[in-house]
Amino acid sequence: MDAKAFLEHFIGQVHHEFERTLKDLTPEQLAFVPAPTANHIAFSAWHFVRTEDNIIQFVLQRQNTVWLDEGLDTAWNLPRNAQGTGMPVEDAHALKLPSTAAFMDFAQKVWARTDTYLAKLDEAEVQRIVKVNPFGEMSVFQTLGQTLIQHGNQHLGEIWLNLEIQKK
């Protein structure tokens, strides 16, 4: 398996698991805070998809994000440029999504742009060095592995644990 196939497969798996997990959640499930310093599902999901949007669109391609193209910062009354990294817990807890369906529409648009980018991926692009705050310089391969695959799975784990806690 080459780098392109690896990235397409594992990023695709992350997208599939997010969609499977989130698509039918209620507003109450999205907003449930399992512990005083833990994040609710809506925040974790929004943060991850915003991060992916920023990495794929802005960092790697220097294009507008889906977030800005769709005017979601204004429509949803959420930060224009921030994606939740380092957000105070009170602000994270206050974050609200308009609906699961609206969020999933946003996520699917981001994932479609990611798929388009990955389809054009070649070895030169995989090896290209980019600057990713706060991590510094790294290859596109490492950027995608760290910020989409590893980071995405981290937040999936948080979401799955939050759902398990809600069953009690």
Q: Give how many domains the chain has, as a whole number.
A: 1
Q: Structural domain of residue 58, as residue ranges?
A: 3-166
pTM: 0.95
pLDDT digits (tens, 9 = 90+) for 47-94: 999 999 999 999 999 999 999 999 999 999 888 877 778 778 899 899
Residue 24 has pLDDT above 90, yes or no: yes
Give the domain CATH number at 162: 1.20.120.450
Per-residue pLDDT tens digits for 100-155: 999 999 999 999 999 999 999 999 999 999 999 888 999 999 999 999 999 999 99
Cβ-contact 47, 95 below 8 angstroms: no
Residue 32 CA: distances (Å) to CA of 25, 96, 99, 165: 11, 11, 14, 10
Model pLDDT, residue 83: 75
